[in-house]
Chains A and B, each alone.
Chain A
């Protein structure tokens, strides 16, 4: 259970660290080929996790280009796969919510003496609700994911077995009651995490 949270939380932190700045940047700049890139990001938001898992596996495999890292069947590989699944979601949602911020705002803040950076941060803060929604969506998509983590993590007992893969195993073993119990834990965990984020959102609204 803690491993599930640990993997997903780490992946979410990485996704946010990459996705929020990239999404903000994409929202505030214009360049050639941006539409194509947008389409790519939106496609990425719906990447089939198993395909991500397969590609990550092929890269991290001993006969793959990154085999020397020896990351396959470790938590690192699972985090990598989850980051790839969640990042486009975070980028896409951040991008559209920052874009929804009145463009006049940044100009007016600049006219009040904000640096480019400060004005951009302010725009991101304005988009905070959307960004949180993006993080919630990213979290939901990876904590409940099973195909990719099964493939690259290997569902190793005591090492890379997480809630979802344990549910698969127990179902296969016919221990439906155990599987169901694990499923309930997973849901509770997911609910608790979302509750924290949503409460945070409410608190932000009051400030």
Chain B
């Protein structure tokens, strides 16, 4: 695993209306790591992920994404550079076409003419081959989320951003999706940024963890340090489930 920065954030503030939802003096994400962003609801986790997905630009400060010796922001990234990222959301919004077409969508955007094999492989990975021709409205919540994971994985992204990908799912689907994440990391060295409120999931998957509370970065460290010897008392409180929110 090479140690090279992928994201560097400096004095990043994000403001919605009059409310500051995120305020991070400094944060660096290394290439190839699995970074878990944890914290209670409303901590700014999803906002941070949307910034990293280049879906929005910070109100203040600077977030740079290092790609092929270039540093880009949400404003300067080309469409080709944006397409090195893929994101999975907590509640998947699928196209009203069959499962296969949903998985193929990103490849079609990229003009991939011979993506069928990759699409079939992705369907296989999420165990949905038998539902390839099904319409999304006939799927269960877990199946829909697997479609969403497949449509991101099929793109072989450099960075995979996951926003609570297993919230509200049953244990079977949670296990399936977690194993896919792990596999993607080990086999393809994909950088993965995982937003979750579930510290157990963070522990199972992450190489590094950051804790956000009310938009502020409380603690940042390797998974070991974070879980075994947290520096901030609030981290300890959060981990023990005592945190009041």
Contact = CB atoms under 8 A, between A and B. Distances in A.
Nearest to A122: B95
Nearest to A109: B105
A122 B94 CA distance: 11
B93 A113 contact: no
Contacts of A114: 109
Interface stretch (A14-22, A70-78, A80-88, A99-107): A99-107
B93 A111 contact: no
Given A102-B93, A104-B91, A104-B93, A112 B55 contact: no
B161 A113 contact: no
A113 B96 contact: no
Interface string B92-136: 111111100100011001100000000000000000000000000
A207 B89 contact: no
Majority secondary structure of chain A interface residues (helix, strand, loop or mixed): helix
B43 interface: no
Contacts of B91: 104
A118 B79 CA distance: 12
B82 interface: yes
B79 A115 contact: yes
B86 interface: yes
Given A104-B91, A108-B89, A113 B110 contact: yes
A113 B151 CA distance: 11
Contact of A112 (B96, B98, B101, B106): B106
B155 A108 contact: no
A110 B161 CA distance: 13
Contacts, number: 53
Interface residues of B, number: 27
Contact of B55 (A102, A111, A125): A111
A141 B87 CA distance: 45
A108 B46 CA distance: 13
B95 A113 contact: no
Contacts of B53: 111
B213 interface: no
A122 B105 CA distance: 10
Contact of B95 (A107, A111, A126): A126
Contact of B86 (A102, A107, A112): A112
Contacts of A118: 109
Given A112-B105, A113-B86, A105 B55 contact: no
Nearest to B92: A108
Contacts of B106: 112-113
Contacts of B95: 105, 122, 125-126
A120 to B, nearest CB: 13
B155 A113 contact: yes
Most buried by B among A110, A113, A114, A115: A113
B97 A207 contact: yes
B100 to A, nearest CB: 11
Nearest to B87: A111
A98 to B, nearest CB: 13
B151 A112 contact: yes
Closest 5 interchain pairs by CB?
A111-B87, A113-B83, A105-B93, A104-B93, A112-B106
18 contacts: A102-B93, A104-B91, A104-B93, A105-B94, A105-B95, A107-B55, A108-B89, A108-B92, A111-B55, A111-B86, A111-B161, A112-B87, A112-B105, A113-B85, A114-B109, A122-B95, A126-B96, A207-B101
